[in-house]
Structure 1
């Protein structure tokens, strides 16, 4: 769709000195792309005027008039079309956004979308009272950054390069007024918050406290692996059983028995072979075989005489030797040859094959592993299955140290869930009284960060919103196949959270 238009006569203001002018220098045509109407692209051919600036003090001699809401300097699209492309760039960035723009009848390159995205202003925000701090990976294991969010509004504020103390301290000094800082147990963030915002109260996240406790419990379980249950049977002598033949009939056998009963019932009613065949939609020969068989076993091969074999005279010997545990077909073949057997090895192997298929090797359940026992200790007892609870009880009965660790974990969980951090000192004293070096190290770490830990166990503030924002950052990274550098990643994270 093509729209042809031109501006009307009148005055326009100079963009530099804002002096109005109506003196025309010349006219020229601008071609603008607009948002599509229905499924039709829209192109506007607009004739505009170039005017003289009558202000002698202005350095500009001429200027082009702009139509409000339709044109802007050097623009090839209307503001409405530009806003659509900006929304596409924020949501999908480069290549994916360019593919979507084709469906919107506005073919643009990925670099154009990225340029529009980077030109957008950052969303406005005020210095928060409660700041959330956490790290994220730009390249896992190699490069990391720091994300800062407002814990009250849950909106991201900044993405900083690196995760060292000086980076955080510099940002905090530039934005004074923060009252509470929620962070994980990283020492660099604790130091950066202390230097950059000494007046702020630091809160250690409860999730990270529980995670650190799990690591300490795993160390305790590793020191007492000898207390874990062992396998029921060793790999050298697994028990084997030979179950009886299954009494449940197969689908084929059930179908044959049902067909035999129906055919004989119809025969007793006086129906003929052809009539029964038409009624049951089966062949006449099949009906005749069912009619001749007095019992279903005859159809199943029960009365079929097997062909004579060279092995018939020696089957009893094979059965006895199998019952004694001799199952090697090569050995049995040698024994039968000594008794006069002249047949092949394959006949013996074929005779023994059904028995081998029925042999079941009974292997005891694998003993619980290190992490499995750690998970049982860390999990709430109500969330353990019956078998897991039984195995955990047996393990704790076998090892008093792990029983003490389990008791301390449950008491710490009560402090954490009820946010009664005032009882933490008693918990540390109880931990020191046990022979559990792993938990001793955990208690030492708590004492080094005591104020933040106690506030984390008494305050309702936590790093949950920050962890959610880190997941959002991961999603944005995957959309860009992990190739985005920090400026583009920062722009998309800030803008997608603001929309």
Structure 2
């Protein structure tokens, strides 16, 4: 069988590691010490020492490397669609019958990330977490049509993100419209959702239910007080180490 250049490098490295590990093992060195000396994980050292020959190690390694071959077309398609997370792609091909582990998928995708071998068209860059968060937190009427369409596609692909977006928008309507009477129902729905962080947030709201309910119902606001506190802290930071307390007092009193 003709080996590719990238496989030749793998074979050479595995043979060298196998020879070095067996030489150190013959000298009475422990597997942990061999791993530290060669810069290898202890599990890798166990495989090298336990193999009767370097060919056994090479055969198993190449078998793992090519175990994703039946799913390369699907991985190319998902990569072109902007999905770059190895764990997610591994789960998807696992549902399609992939018998191997996630490491083989990571190795295959590494070729695309580093530009080695045949890499498909990278396609559009996926949105960042900050972008998606901004789309969710923005009122639907104020969201650009392009961003709204992107969020819609993400919600169709990810049921958890879809539910989270619905919860966030319901809470936003409740907060901006002062619909405190809806708080109990919102907390119940959030607590029953499988999303653990959301359920935890809902439980914390219940611990101080009366205060949260009043904050969502009454017209009173602590915004003016918080603004003054923020102003005082800013002045304090500006004056720190520069002048006496008397000058700081004058700045606080005269600041508008």
Please give the TM-score of this superposition, normalised by the length of structure 1: 0.27
Which one has a larger percent helix, Structure 1 or Structure 2?
2
Q: Which one has more relative contact order, counting CA pairs under 8 Å at least 6 apart?
A: 1
Please give the TM-score of this superposition, normalised by the length of structure 2: 0.49
Which one has a larger percent strand, Structure 1 or Structure 2?
1
The structure with more radius of gyration: 1
